[in-house]
Amino acid sequence: MVSALIRYLDSVKARDPAPRSRWEVLLYPGVLALFFHKIAHRLFRARWYFLARAINHLSRFLTAIDIHPGARIGRNLFIDHGFTVIGETAVIGDNVTIYQCVTLGGTNPTNGKAGKRHPTLEDDVIVGSGAQILGPVIVGRRARIGASAVVTEDVPEGATMIGIKARSTLIAAETYAKDFMPYGTPCKEPCEPTGSQRVADLEAEVAQLREQVEALVAERAEPQPACKGL
């Protein structure tokens, strides 16, 4: 038990440079939420639903992280900061990292998918801040979900997803996924133009069009030679 806890705390330290010791990691809200979930999940499986929900609500009050007691979670889940929601039928593999304000949300049970309504995250997935993964989709092993992405379809293994609706950046996993990637986004790789770059491109295009219009106006303003009668 103690050795397993030490391995878990070390796995968190390997993904977060902030803590100076394992004792600090023990105070992390994500670690506390996972501790409460293990208790609530056992009660849920034993069909002590009310007690499971009571512990779930206590955990949410203390940590600002809402993990449904029915969610299945593998080893070494690290939830960095709070305000994360994990639904009842969500399945999370080993060594998954989830940042703040993430939702693993479900679909409406009246749409014919009353069973598995929430996402499945396979091993080594990273989910960036504010990302929303909705429905019974499968996020493949070592996939990265960028900040604020909205995922509604299955994600291939090793893909990096960005945007609304999320799309792949087509960066091969073997080229960047050798080490842990904070926030799930390969910042050194070109993903898509930034807002400032897009504005600069549009301004340059407008300036070019203005020059062309001014040239046409000047051409029309030149006096035309008078036509001589025959």
Number of domains within the chain: 2
Q: What is the pLDDT of residue 32?
A: 96
CA atoms of 195 and 192, how far apart (whole Å): 9
Show the low-confidence residues of the chain (pLDDT under 50).
112, 189-190
Which among 115, 118, 113 is positioned nearest to 139, based on CA atoms?
118
Q: What is the pLDDT of residue 8?
A: 94
Can you tell me whether residue 172 is helix, strand or coil? coil
| pLDDT one-digit tens code per residue, 107-119 | 766 554 568 899 9
63, 29 Cβ separation under 8 angstroms: yes
227 lies in some domain:
no
153 lies in some domain:
yes
Specify which residues 94 forms β-bridges with: none
28 lies in some domain:
yes
Range of the domain at 217: 192-222
If asked whether residues 217 and 170 sit together in one domain, one would say: no
Which among 85, 91, 154, 92 is positioned nearest to 126, based on CA atoms?
92
Q: What is the pLDDT of residue 112?
A: 46
Query: What type of residue sits at position 54?
Result: A
